[in-house]
Chain A
Amino acid sequence: MTLRDALICFNGLLQRELLRFVQQRSRFFSALVRPLLWLVVFASGFRAALGIAIIAPYETYITYEVYIVPGLCAMIILFNGMQSSLSMVYDREMGSMRVLLVSPMPRPFLLLSKLLATSLISLLQVYGFLVIAWFWGVEAPLWGYLTALPAFLLVAMMLSAIGLFISAKIKQLENFAGVMNFVIFPMFFLSSALYPLWKMREASEWLYWICAWNPFSHGVELIRFALYQQVNSTALSIVIIVTLVASIVAVRGFQPQQGMGKR
């Protein structure tokens, strides 16, 4: 495979994902409803109940809405990543995975390109959400929207790779409801997306440690800091390591026959 072939191939994959995204505009808007409900309804209700002390990267007291926006961005990425990875294993995309897999390009390259392409598309949803959040009064520094981009992308790759690994390895999770109950919700709730970890520690020491070990927490913190033009080096290191390990394990463990049924 030459670099030229690789670029043409990736470009083709990205364009296809983009075309599908444009075709399925209604899915784009419905995917925004979930985080907006959290922002507009849940956060408004919790604002009074939950006081947030000054914690990095924030320099002053913040409202609860401001606190949960990075977590909700990560939630959009989490849902998209899991959904696309699941469809890769179970061939839900009208057989498009078969077309992909008969390409002469190396399979790890094809799988990682597909993960990257779907990750880039999910960034469009994240920025769509951030625009609405901005109108709702939740603003990050202007440059923060740009510095957060690599963080979004890295977290998207991490979650897609974890999703591909889980979908390939755990047969029982062959539908999205299973993934939602056993992967997405635990990952999301046992993280720093909705509440700072010190708050969790006040409630339960062992819950705190689960949250602290959850890679999703580090993804959320990476995004949170990046939105405020800062680098959380611990979160960055963990996200990079988990992305690499999950990608290698997921690609090695990928077996297309798992989702294609018996004939």
Chain B
Amino acid sequence: MSIIIRNLSFSYGSLNALQDINLALQEGCFNALLGPNGAGKSTLFALLSRLYALQSGEITIAGHSIAHHPAQVMRKLGVVFQQSTLDLDLSVAQNLYYHAALHGMSKRQALPRITEELARFDLSQRLHDKVRTLNGGHRRRVEIARALLHQPEILLLDEPSVGLDPATRESLNLHIRQLCTQQHLTVLWATHLIEEVHNDDPVTILFKGRILASDTADQLCQQHQSADISTLFRSLTGTST
């Protein structure tokens, strides 16, 4: 398994953001983390990407404990945060070189990887453009290309489609799925938009800091005798998406 989470809890003072989370992601798959706003998705991402320190429980990523072998973990992990972390005043190349350097890649090593990833996202022509001149969809693609530069095994995306139009959202989603198939990349895609989840995707439903259900969307619907994942989500959480 690529990510294994055991007995994970996290609180902000007296507010419990995550309670006793146990989860194992399926390797080489598009794993969906479904939950309404405030469910604890971003807190979970912050813990997985070491932005927050563990309070209780443990996380193992690609066979390494996040608490004991952080460097090995971070080499295997690519992260796309919900809010953009690109420097708008720098060019696409400058942003990507910065990330590469933080992973110990020289410019000479980084250039072929940058060329490859930007070509994959059809952004080769924008290499020297300032990020500020890119539209929202292109910025997201640059962020994903950046997260893939150091060739991670696992890619975490925290609500990557927020703020994008439906067509861009769909093409981004499709693209990430292709990465899973072609490169055997394990993806954890957090979202509150149910249409982004396919029937055969492993899905985890997070609500108020707890996991309510975890299996493939098909299996969950069968187990709960729901017509579709959207109905199931509504009945479990009492919310609409």
- Contact call A105/B104, Cβ cutoff below 8 A: yes
Residues of chain A contacted by B94 (CB below 8 angstroms): 16, 19
Could you mark each residue 102-119 of chain A with 1 if its beta carbon is under 8 Å from any beta carbon of chain B, else 0? 111111001000000000
Residues of chain B contacted by A257 (CB below 8 angstroms): 46, 51-53
Chain B residue at minimal CB-CB distance from A6: B104
- Contact call B88/A104, Cβ cutoff below 8 A: no
Chain A residue at minimal CB-CB distance from B91: A19
How many angstroms from the CA of A91 to the CA of B184 in the assembled complex? 33
Nearest-Cβ distance from residue A7 to partner chain B, whole angstroms:
9
Chain A residue at minimal CB-CB distance from B73: A104
Interface residue total, chain B, C-beta cutoff 8 A: 42
Which residues in window 22-78 of B have CB below 8 A to A?
A: 38, 40-43, 46, 49-53, 70-75, 77
Given A95-B83, A103-B74, A263-B40; A12-B102 close (CB under 8 Å)? yes
Which residues in window 74-105 of B have CB below 8 A to A?
A: 74-75, 77, 79, 81, 83-90, 94, 97-105
Nearest-Cβ distance from residue B90 to partner chain A, whole angstroms:
6
Residues of chain A contacted by B84 (CB below 8 angstroms): 94-95
Chain B residue at minimal CB-CB distance from A98: B85
Q: Is residue A170 contacting chain B, with contact meaning CB distance below 8 A?
A: no
Given A103-B74, A104-B75; A20-B42 close (CB under 8 Å)? no
How many angstroms from the CA of A256 to the CA of B53 in the assembled complex? 9
Residues of chain B contacted by A262 (CB below 8 angstroms): 12, 15, 17
Chain A residue at minimal CB-CB distance from B131: A94
Instruction: Kindly name the residue among A15, A16, A20, A104 whose own CB sees the greatest number of chain B CB atoms within 10 A.
Output: A104
How many angstroms from the CA of A99 to the CA of B50 in the assembled complex? 11
Nearest-Cβ distance from residue A193 to partner chain B, whole angstroms:
33
How many angstroms from the CA of A19 to the CA of B81 in the assembled complex? 23
- Contact call A99/B102, Cβ cutoff below 8 A: yes
- Contact call B49/A102, Cβ cutoff below 8 A: yes
How many angstroms from the CA of A230 to the CA of B15 in the assembled complex? 56
Q: Is residue B237 contacting chain A, with contact meaning CB distance below 8 A?
A: no
How many angstroms from the CA of A12 to the CA of B105 in the assembled complex? 9
Residues of chain A contacted by B46 (CB below 8 angstroms): 257, 260, 263
Which residues in window 148-191 of A have CB below 8 A to B?
A: none
- Contact call A8/B101, Cβ cutoff below 8 A: yes
Residues of chain B contacted by A238 (CB below 8 angstroms): none
Q: Is residue B181 contacting chain A, with contact meaning CB distance below 8 A?
A: no
Given A23-B89, A262-B12; A8-B51 close (CB under 8 Å)? no
Residues of chain B contacted by A263 (CB below 8 angstroms): 17, 38, 40-43, 46
How many angstroms from the CA of A142 to the CA of B94 in the assembled complex? 37
- Contact call B88/A94, Cβ cutoff below 8 A: yes
Residues of chain B contacted by A59 (CB below 8 angstroms): none
Q: Is residue B241 contacting chain A, with contact meaning CB distance below 8 A?
A: no
Q: Which of B12, B71, B90, B104 contacts A23 (CB 8 A)?
A: B90
Residues of chain B contacted by A13 (CB below 8 angstroms): 98, 101-102
How many angstroms from the CA of A103 to the CA of B81 in the assembled complex? 14
Given A104-B103, A263-B17, A263-B43; A98-B38 close (CB under 8 Å)? no
Residues of chain B contacted by A110 (CB below 8 angstroms): 102
Residues of chain A contacted by B222 (CB below 8 angstroms): none
Nearest-Cβ distance from residue A22 to partner chain B, whole angstroms:
10
- Contact call B97/A106, Cβ cutoff below 8 A: no
- Contact call A8/B106, Cβ cutoff below 8 A: yes
> What residues of chain A have their CB less than 8 Å away from a CB belonging to chain B?
1-2, 4-6, 8-9, 11-13, 15-16, 19-20, 23-24, 93-96, 98-107, 110, 255-257, 260, 262-263
18 additional A-B pairs beyond A99-B99, A256-B52, A262-B12, beta carbons within 8 Å, are A1-B71, A4-B104, A9-B102, A16-B90, A16-B94, A24-B89, A96-B85, A96-B87, A98-B49, A98-B81, A98-B85, A99-B85, A99-B98, A102-B51, A102-B79, A104-B74, A257-B46, A257-B51
> What residues of chain B have their CB less than 8 Å away from a CB belonging to chain A?
12, 15, 17, 38, 40-43, 46, 49-53, 70-75, 77, 79, 81, 83-90, 94, 97-106
Q: What 7 A-B pairs are tightest by C-beta distance, nearest first?
A: A12-B101, A95-B85, A5-B104, A103-B102, A104-B74, A263-B42, A104-B71
